[in-house]
Chains A and B, each alone.
Chain A
Amino acid sequence: MVQRLVIIGAGMASGRLIEALIEKDADAYDITLFNAEPRGNYNRIMLSPVLSGEKTYEEIITHSDEWYVENNVTTYFGEAVTAIDKTAKTVSTKSHTVVYDKLVIATGSAPFIIPVSGKDLPGVMAYRDLDDVNKMLDACQKPNAKAIVIGGGLLGLEAAAGLKEQGMDVTVLHIMPHLMERQLDPAAGHLLRKALEDRGIRIHTEGFTKAILGEDKVDAVLLEDGTVYAADIVVMSAGIRPETRLATDLGLHVERGIVVTDGMQTSDPYIYAVGECIEHREQLYGLVAPLYDQAKVLADNLLGGDAIFQPVEISTKLKVTGCDLFSAGDFAEADDREEIVFRDAVRGVYKRLILQNDVIIGAVMYGDTADGGWFLQKIKDGEDISEIRDTLIFGPNFATGVPSDPLAAVAALPLDAEICGCNGVSKGDILAAIEGGADSLDAVKALTKASTSCGTCAGLTAQVAQIGLGDGFILPEKETICKCSDLSHDDVRKLIVSNGLKSIHDVMQSLQWNTSCGCPVCRPALNYYLVCAWPGEYVDDGQSRYINERVHANIQKDGTYSVVPRMWGGITTPDELRAIADAADKYNVPTVKVTGGQRIDLLGIEKEDLPAIWYDLNEAGMVSGQAYAKGLRTVKTCVGSDHCRFGTQDSTGLGIKLEKAMWGAWSPHKFKLAVSGCPRNCAEATCKDLGIICVDSGYQILVGGAAGMDLRETELLAQVSSEEEALELACAFYQLYREGAQYLHRPYKWIAKVGLEWIKEQCVKDLETRKALAERFHYSQTFYQVDPWEERASKGIDAFEYSPLADFTKVAAE
């Protein structure tokens, strides 16, 4: 005869148990399931998204009524078991009594209701099941309703965030000095507090509830310190206690929970227990991952196997959208423990690793939890990290020196690396599912259940799937700005403009940079994008510029600098030459060289002397030639119609006008021009970013040339008939390039990407757009045409750069 298995409690643990039983041997048992809640199994951990409105209840049901029917599970929902008779082997509810051969107690836990007066008033509720959620949602209907959440742990904060999301005024009372003290240390608790306060949730720490006030319903909460908070509802979230009443009544061995063996057996050989109601080796469990393991072990034992439950290290994530938080292991301080802490207060990132004998035993992360899984694996493996200790805190990309490929870190994970903590899915399980025929991410999820519970591992699951599916599945590919972000240059630029991001910090915070303050690759790019997007508003960040642009001179191999004053269109005067010569003498300039850009370079100047030599050059009317800038460089010209027998137009004059209009502008890369007076092209205009060749009938505007590492001939953008038009078109083209090109792309690279035709449409055919572009350029120039040398030589800007903080050379010499 088929054995009768009765299960008390349709929760997360028993749901998994029944699945495992049916999967292994559907005919072994006749299963009867009782549940106090008037419904079957649903994903309890997703109640918070239901509360906040991100999900519906239907979306979190894991086992439908039909499922139980199809699998021959007899259900009694809405019937709490009130008694067990171990001699007669029966369980009873108010209306039914059922006989068992084997019994499983899976009653979970009961919320702890703190014993204060008023705790039974209507409006006081726990946060455990769907009914609680529905009560909270009802309360939210009232305009300006106020909620008090007692308990600033994981559940309390999820409740608070959900209620806030629903428009309630929310206050969290927490007895400890900082939030989530079981999972977080004070610093992370503080960051979390700030984040919650930023979204309008009031947090009262060291708040001891004295009484809940009200006549026939909740009105307010009174604290020991005398504070009174008005309240329409009070959510008790002060902890949970294993639901052991049935077992205690029966006389089973119960400590804090129902004591079970490694095989999940209670002190009665016919009765088993699983889930939050148990105590195993003096340990209680409050997260689903170990419960699922228990369920598998129990299923095996019920089918005659001898599997044993071995608890593994588990991690916690808070499911409040926008609060990234991760903790795992043990992070109490002790003498034999060391810690590595990383924090960036500005970006709200905090990471802490606890080490004991070169092994990570605990990890807390706030704000940037991307590497959580990696650390968890190290905790589980007890890996010796002494070799990578210095860079450990920066995570796998840094520690293992494989930066750019986002998949590399995932590819490097061992097969038993856990991907989905909730469902205990390892990398190997996913790969096995793919080998077994799963040919899409959805199929992988359906087969393995990876990322189907709390969902925080969705990205990781997709990445492992990508590795397994290879060419069959490609994540939308894009070249990211650098390893600090998953966004491409184009994405970042778009988001800067559309989200009105006006500082590097804003960008990194809003666009979720995965490093605390960027790197030498992204920071200069971001600085430029902001300079371009918000002229006059953005405050340039010198520390995000390469040294040349920061100190407005070119660094040399020996740490000295070179100084190149502008010579407009390559024209100079005896006075300028004299001033250059004087400066060269005065500052002992070792080398004076005529550059390939038609001007004079003073090389080998000490950094400390820069402001002084600039001052002298300024006095003679010269400004910075910006030979160091990702910006306008030189405008080379030839002598043109003023002197040359072939000259068709005043190429020198036009070159000077162009340089006067464009100097000072910053761009994605350097921008060089040349104007030749006739097609003989003595100014080499056909290999410049923008070149102009004068002809009898006007001006040929040529773009996209280069003569550096790549040799490119320009292409004709347009021929125009007047100098004015040539100037306007040149400025419009420059602006289009400034606004569109990726940082460090010369125009020819950008043109290859967007197409010359498109550029022609923008600034040749569409005169309105051309005009608007030119206007935006001139507007921007009103802010950037300031001589950076003068600012530093006469106005004291960045003075700190050029003088030492302290000089002990003389002191020591005394």
Chain B
Amino acid sequence: MIDYIDIGAVEDIPVRAARLVKTDHGCIAVFRTSSNKVYAIDDKCPHKGGPLSNGIQHDERITCPLHNWVFDLNTGRAQGADEGTVKTYDIKVVDDRIMLHRSAITTIVAAE
């Protein structure tokens, strides 16, 4: 059983940019930071649904493009006074390939 799915090369995402992975339960935003780490979180701000992949990335945080909430990419938690958490997914880099845990794209893991 392969647990991680190869979704592309690290270079497919420019530094500090993000790209989407479309799934049946919505879009997942995959971020590449300036230190070449990758993160995967729901592309949906818990505030009013802003597409987080369109925000400005700084350190390991993302600022929502709609009303500037800031989320930690590690935990998905809103920073500062704002409260909310965006779902994070298991993702890693192996030999410059981005590997997303399969549970991210199948809503019901048990059905495998």
Contact = CB atoms under 8 A, between A and B. Distances in A.
A555 interface: yes
Interface string B55-96: 111110001011010001011010111000000000000000
B56 A520 contact: yes
A800 B56 CA distance: 16
B24 A559 contact: no
Given A344-B34, A401-B80, A812-B106, A805 B17 contact: no
Interface in A618-656: none
A312 interface: no
State the main secondary structure of chain B at its contact with A. Answer: loop
A809 interface: yes
Interface in B1-60: 7-8, 12-17, 19-24, 27, 30, 34-35, 48-51, 54-59
Contact of B65 (A516, A547, A806, A809): A547
Interface in A494-531: 515-520, 523-524
Contacts of A546: 56, 65
8 contacts: A343-B35, A391-B79, A398-B79, A555-B51, A555-B66, A806-B21, A806-B22, A808-B105
Q: Nearest 9 pairs between A and B by C-beta? A: A805-B19, A543-B16, A559-B51, A520-B56, A547-B54, A806-B7, A804-B20, A547-B65, A807-B22
B81 A401 contact: yes
B106 to A, nearest CB: 7
B23 A808 contact: yes
Given A344-B34, A804-B21, A806-B8, 5 more contacts: A344-B35, A515-B58, A543-B14, A806-B21, A812-B105
A523 B58 contact: yes
Given A517-B16, A557-B66, A523 B24 contact: no
A806 B34 CA distance: 22
A345 B72 CA distance: 20
Contacts of B7: 805-806
A547 B53 CA distance: 10
B17 A390 contact: no
A805 B30 contact: yes
A813 B77 CA distance: 31
Nearest to A541: B16
Nearest to B8: A805
A244 interface: no
Contacts of B72: 390-391
A709 interface: no
A550 B17 CA distance: 11
Nearest to A551: B54
B58 A518 contact: yes
B21 A805 contact: yes
Interface residues of A, number: 41
A390 B77 contact: yes
Nearest to B17: A543
Contacts of B13: 800, 805
A315 B27 CA distance: 47
A556 B16 CA distance: 22
A516 B17 contact: no
A543 B16 CA distance: 6
A346 interface: yes
Nearest to B67: A557
A812 B23 contact: yes
A543 B50 CA distance: 17
Nearest to B22: A807
Interface in A795-814: 800-801, 804-809, 811-813
Q: How large is the interface on B (under 10, 10 to 19, 20 to 34, 35 or more residues)?
A: 35 or more
Contact of A519 (B34, B58, B80): B58
Given A344-B34, A547-B55, A804 B79 contact: no
B58 to A, nearest CB: 5
Given A547-B54, A805-B13, A812-B105, A346 B23 contact: no
A544 interface: yes
Interface string A66-88: 00000000000000000000000
Contacts of A813: 24
A449 to B, nearest CB: 37
Interface string A333-376: 00000000011111000000000000000000000000000000
Contacts of B75: 390
Secondary structure dominating the interface of A: mixed
Contacts of A812: 23-24, 105-106
Contacts of A285: none
Contacts of B51: 555, 559, 607
A346 B15 CA distance: 12
Interface in A269-312: none
Nearest to A813: B24
Contacts of A524: 56
Residue of A394, A515, A544, A547 with most partner-chain B CB within 10 A: A547
Contact of A808 (B8, B22, B30, B50): B22
A558 interface: yes
Interface in A538-574: 542-544, 546-547, 550-551, 555, 557-559
Nearest to A543: B16
Contacts of B48: 557
A543 B57 contact: yes
A811 B72 CA distance: 30
Given A390-B75, A517-B59, A558-B49, A800 B19 contact: yes
Interface in A653-690: none
Contacts of A515: 58-59
Nearest to B65: A547
A809 B23 contact: yes
A544 B17 CA distance: 10
Contacts of B14: 542-543, 800
Given A516-B34, A555-B66, A559-B50, A809 B24 contact: yes
Contacts of A800: 12-14, 17, 19
A515 B35 CA distance: 14
Interface string A770-814: 000000000000000000000000000000110011111101110
Contact of B19 (A550, A551, A804, A811): A804
A555 B52 CA distance: 12
Contact of A394 (B59, B66, B100, B105): B59
A518 B56 CA distance: 11
B23 to A, nearest CB: 5
B65 A555 contact: yes
A558 B65 CA distance: 11
B63 A520 contact: yes
A605 B100 CA distance: 29
Nearest to B48: A557
A518 B63 CA distance: 12
A342 B55 CA distance: 22
Contact of A346 (B34, B66, B74): B34
Contacts of A801: 17
A346 B35 CA distance: 8
B41 to A, nearest CB: 14
A543 B17 CA distance: 6
Select the residue from A343, A518, A808, A813 with max chain B CB neighbours within 10 A: A808
A804 B22 contact: yes
Contacts of B56: 520, 523-524, 543-544, 546-547
A295 B17 CA distance: 56
A359 B49 CA distance: 37
